[in-house]
Amino acid sequence: MTTATPHLLRKLGDIEHFSSSRHHLGIYRCVTVTARHQHPPSSSSSSSPSHLASTSLSPAFLAALSHIVRHQPMLRVGIAADDSNDAHFTHIPSIDLRDHVSVTLVPCQSAQEYEDRVAQQQGWEHDQKFANIAERPPWRITILRPSSDVPELQGIEDVFFAFHHSIMDGTSGRLFHEMLLAAPSYQRPTTAAEGAEAAAAAAEEEPILSFPDPPPSLPESQEQGVDFTLSWSYTLRTLWTELGPSFLKPAKQPIWNAIPIDLSLPYRTRVKTIDYSPEQLSQLLSACRSRSVTLTALLHSLVLTSLAKRIPSPEAAPAFAAATPLSMRPYLSPAKSDPAHASSLRCLVAGCSHEFSPETVSAIRRAEDADVVNSLIWTIAQHVKAELAQKLAKIPQDDVMGLLKYISDWFAFWRGRDGKQRADSWEISNIGVLKNAPRDNAQGQEREDKKQQQQEEAGMPRATRLLFTNGAMVAGPPMGINVASVEGSVFTIGLSWQDRVVEDELMEQLAEDLTSFAARFQETGDSFV
C-alpha cells in the first residue's frame, strides 16, 4: 500500500525553515502555552462541572476547538520534506480532533503538588517530537485536571497547547487561547432558549473535520509580509562578524553562557514557574511607568542582578548578554500582506540583543547598600528599555531576519555551531496579556454583578493563569525566562532550561530571587532587596 503524495502548498519561509530544521534535528521541538480554565460551579451546590471528574471532553470545548481549526489555516497544514532545505506546507484533507487532544486526571493532595505536576507536564510537552507531520498538523492539546478535594483546585483544568514553531509563535499561542475562550460554544447565551440551542449544536459537533479543498491562502511568510530593508554597511558588517576569519577580528567580550553548544546531549527541558499576584504586578507596573521603563526591561535587570550575585566569580562570569524576541505583527506591510490574515495565527518574530559589560557586572557585585542596588537595577532597566526603543524605531531596516535568506543549508548551519560558545546568557520572551472574552457592554456595577452571576450560571469558563515556555534551546541561550499574564489575574514567569546544561541549583536560586524581589518591593514600595 502506497501513501498518496502530499498536496504541497507554499514553501516554508526563512524563519519557518529556521524552526523546521531545528525540529528535525531534535534541538528545538515546540512552543507550549498553557491556560488555566476556571469553571464556575455547575449548580447552587457549588460543585465542579461533572466533566472535570473524568477524561471526557465537553461538547462545548470540542465545538470551540473545531471552530478555531476551521478558521485558522496554519492549524490545518502539515510540513513535507522537513529533512531538507526545501520544506513545504501541505494540505491536510481530514483532521480527527481526537488525535490532537488528550485528558489526564492528576491525583494530588495539595495545590503545590498539582503545580509541580503542571511544571513537569510543561517540560514533557517540549521534549516530544511531532510525528508524521506531512500528514498530521503538528500541534496538540493536553488537558490536566486535578483529582482532588483541595479547595483551591476546585473547578480548574490546565489546557496545554503545544505547537511546532514553524506554524506559529508564542504570541499566536496566546491568541489561540483567547479564541478558544471566546468561541461561540463558550460564550454566554442571553436567553435560556439560546443556551439550549448552543448546547445542542455543540453536542452534535463531529470530532472529524473534513477539508476537501486547500485553504484559499496561507498567511505569508515573514519576509513576504514584512518589508525588510538592508543597507550595504549593515550587511557587510554582519557577514564579516559571522564569516570573517577570527584572527582578523577583535576578540569578543567573554560572557557567562553555561557550557558550549553540545548537540549530543539528551534533549530534556526543565521548567519552573513563578507567579506574581495582581497586587505585585500592579505595583511593579506603576513603578515602571513612573521611570519610563517596561516590565520586560526591568526583568532583564532583575535577572542580571540575580546571576551576577549567584555567580560571583569574574573568571566564570565576567559579563552577560541577553536577547528579547520581538513580535513583527505591527510591522506587516499593508502593501505586501493580505489583510485577510491580519489576525491569523502564524510566526512573526525578530529580536533585540543586550550586552552587560564587566563594569556593570562588577558594580552589582560590589553593591551592598540597598539604595545602591536599587539604583543600579533601575539604571540597567532604563538602558535595556532604550535599546528596545531604538530597535523598535528602526525595524524592519537592518535586521538580522532580513539576512536569513543567505543561509542556504540550515542543517549545516546548526551542525556548524556544535561545540561553539553561545551568543547569549538568557532570553526574555513576553507574549503579553490574555484577555478573557468580554461579558457584554452593560454599564454599572450592579448590572455587572448580575451579568457575572448569569455568566457563572451559564457555565462559561475564564482563564485565570497563562504559562508560556520555550523548550530547551540547544543551540541558543542556556535559559529562557518566559512571561505571560491574564488581565486582572496573575503574572507568570516560566523558567526553562536544558537538563545538564544549567545546574538546577542555579535555576532554583534565580527563581528564589525573582520571587523575593517582587515580594520585597510589594512590602516596601521602593526596594527590591
The answer as to whether 372 is a domain residue is yes
Burial pattern 258-267, b for ≥16 Cβ within 10 A else e, equals beebeeeeeb
Range with the poorest average pLDDT among 74-83, 165-174, 333-342, 466-475: 333-342
Q: Are strands 479-486 and 491-498 parallel, antiparallel or unpaired?
A: antiparallel
DSSP state of 399: -
Closest CA relative to residue 53, chosen from 104, 95, 116, 89: 104
> Range of 171's domain?
32-75+95-209
Residue for cell digits 564587566? 358
Domain final residue pick, 179, 209, 239: 209
Mean pLDDT of 118-122: 98
The answer as to whether 86 is a domain residue is no
- 102, 159 contact by CB (below 8 A): no
Q: Are strands 88-91 and 77-80 parallel, antiparallel or unpaired?
A: antiparallel
The answer as to whether 216 is a domain residue is no
Here the cell at position 383 is: 538602558
The answer as to whether 451 is a domain residue is no
β-pair partners for 332: 226
Here the cell at position 464 is: 485565570
Kindly report the CATH number assigned to the domain that includes residue 476. 3.30.559.30
Note whether 302 and 164 are same-domain residues. no
Phi, psi of 324 (to 5 degrees): -125, 110
68 pLDDT above the threshold of 80: yes
Note whether 409 and 302 are same-domain residues. yes
DSSP state of 229: B
- 288, 294 contact by CB (below 8 A): yes
> What distance lies between CA 475 and its chain's CA centroid?
18
First to last CA, the chain: 67
The answer as to whether 478 is a domain residue is yes
Measured CA to CA, the distance from residue 275 to residue 475 in angstroms comes to 28
Note whether 484 and 384 are same-domain residues. yes
β-pair partners for 162: 32, 140
The proportion of the chain whose per-residue pLDDT surpasses 90, expressed as a percent, equals: 81
The answer as to whether 190 is a domain residue is yes
Look at residue 188 in the predicted model and tell me its pLDDT. Answer: 52
- 288, 511 contact by CB (below 8 A): no
Express each pLDDT in 445-463 by its tens digit: 444 455 444 444 455 789 9
- 269, 471 contact by CB (below 8 A): yes
Phi, psi of 249 (to 5 degrees): -115, 150
Q: Are strands 7-11 and 88-91 parallel, antiparallel or unpaired?
A: antiparallel
Mean pLDDT of 489-506: 98
Going through 109-247 in order, the beta strands assigned E by DSSP cover 139-147, 156-163, 208-210
Residue for cell digits 512590602? 523
The pTM score is 0.93
DSSP state of 436: P
What's the pLDDT band for 67 if we cut at 50, 70, 90?
A: very high
The answer as to whether 133 is a domain residue is yes
Note whether 141 and 267 are same-domain residues. no
Look at residue 47 in the predicted model and tell me its pLDDT. Answer: 62
Here the cell at position 429 is: 520572551
What's the pLDDT band for 190 if we cut at 50, 70, 90?
A: very low
Break the chain down into helix, strand, coil percent, rounded to 5: 40, 20, 35
Note whether 487 and 408 are same-domain residues. yes
Here the cell at position 405 is: 535568506
- 468, 486 contact by CB (below 8 A): no
Residue 500 CB partners (closer than 8 Å, separation 6+): 265, 266, 268
335 pLDDT above the threshold of 70: yes
**Furthest-apart CA pair in the chain: how many Å?**
77
The continuous run of DSSP H or E covering 139 comes out as: strand 139-147
Measured CA to CA, the distance from residue 522 to residue 403 in angstroms comes to 44
Kindly report the CATH number assigned to the domain that includes residue 142. 3.30.559
17 pLDDT above the threshold of 70: yes
Look at residue 511 in the predicted model and tell me its pLDDT. Answer: 98
418 pLDDT above the threshold of 70: yes
State how many domains the chain has. Answer: 2
At residue 415, the 3 state secondary structure works out as helix
89 pLDDT above the threshold of 90: yes
Q: Is 434 left (phi over 0), alpha (psi -120 to 50) or beta?
A: beta
Note whether 319 and 399 are same-domain residues. yes
Note whether 132 and 201 are same-domain residues. yes
Measured CA to CA, the distance from residue 355 to residue 109 in angstroms comes to 45
Note whether 203 and 265 are same-domain residues. no
Look at residue 192 in the predicted model and tell me its pLDDT. Answer: 45
Q: Give the residue, 106 or 42, on which the prediction is more confident.
A: 106
> What crossing angle do the helices spanning 278-290 and 295-310 adopt, rounded to 10°?
100
Note whether 124 and 267 are same-domain residues. no
Note whether 161 and 51 are same-domain residues. yes
- 439, 455 contact by CB (below 8 A): yes
- 79, 87 contact by CB (below 8 A): yes
Measured CA to CA, the distance from residue 263 to residue 25 in angstroms comes to 9
Measured CA to CA, the distance from residue 160 to residue 139 in angstroms comes to 10
The answer as to whether 337 is a domain residue is no
Here the cell at position 420 is: 561553539
- 182, 76 contact by CB (below 8 A): no
- 267, 29 contact by CB (below 8 A): yes
Note whether 204 and 258 are same-domain residues. no
Note whether 257 and 124 are same-domain residues. no
| Whole-angstrom Cα Rg for the chain | 24
